[in-house]
Amino acid sequence: MSNPADPGRMLFVNMPVADLERSKAFFSKLGFSFDPMFTDESAACMPVGEQAFVMLLGREKFAEFAKLPMADPTTHTLALYCFSVSSRDEVDAVSAAALAAGGAEADGAEDHGFMYSRSFFDLDGHGWQVMWMDPAATA
């Protein structure tokens, strides 16, 4: 096996959504875009970093990959998805955009000095956290 932190490794997180177009519109309002090469009527590839992607999959498409029953994210936590932004102000801006686009606040702001975050639920009930971390704290 290659090095677990291999810089060439890519991460794809597959996430079921009830209405793909509605989810694409929601995440577009948060500043995300979609790679047209890997986006069609059943799936949308949303880059979240240089080598990290969220695949929004219609439930039927997601079921083709899943070997177990699909859980309802409004009643069960499947995972918590976190992405970083470049400033504290951007944390607030992205969170405000999520709420304005129909998302729901999960938690209030968490301020640890070196790290600041806010959490929200997307239109399907998936839990997201947007965070900023002081680069000096990770050095």
Q: What is the DSSP string of 18-59?
A: S-HHHHHHHHHHTT---BGGG--SSEEEEEEETTEEEEEEEH
Confidence of residue 1 (pLDDT cuts 50, 70, 90): very low
pTM of the entire predicted model: 0.89
14 conformational bin, left if phi > 0, alpha if psi -120 to 50, beta if neither: beta
56-108 pLDDT, tens digit each: 999 999 999 998 999 999 899 889 999 999 999 999 999 999 999 999 999 89
The predicted model gives 99-127 an average pLDDT of: 96
The mean pLDDT of the chain is: 93
Confidence of residue 2 (pLDDT cuts 50, 70, 90): low
The predicted model gives 30-36 an average pLDDT of: 97
On the question of pLDDT at 110 being above 80, the answer is yes
